[in-house]
Amino acid sequence: MPDLPQRHTKPKSKGVTKHEVEDKAWGNGRGGRPWRRKRERILKRDGYMCQCPECKGMKRIATEVDHIIPLSQGGTDDDSNLMAIAGYPCHARKTARESAASR
């Protein structure tokens, strides 16, 4: 079987600007630094304890922040619409319930 000829041309660049690369840099997900600051503020406000209705009276460490009223249903990123929540099982269960309700 004959060998394929070597490629002598550079692949075409899409012409991505430095600004576009910085916007997509690792660690900027979910709103970047402003969201991380807000997340930390909400976790501190709630004492790092899960605030979901199923956890009232229980002590479950919260690792995530969730919208009380989902953005898809008109909620906002205001602190009053955010609560500390345990990642699993609470956040997963709440998200599944909201997804099923929106279908």
**Single-letter residue type at 58:** M
CB 65 within 8 A of CB 42: yes
pLDDT of the chain, 103 residues: tens digit per residue: 677 777 676 666 666 555 554 545 555 566 799 999 999 999 999 999 999 998 888 899 999 999 999 998 899 999 999 999 998 899 999 999 988 887 7
Nearest alpha-carbon partner for 60 in 25, 98, 27, 86: 86
How many other CB atoms are found less than 10 A from the CB of residue 60?
Answer: 17
The DSSP 8-state label assigned to residue 33 in this structure reads H
Q: Phi-psi bin for 47: left (phi > 0), alpha (psi -120 to 50), beta?
A: left
Strand partners, 64: 85
**Full-prediction pTM beyond 0.85?**
no
**Domain-by-domain residue ranges, the chain?**
18-102
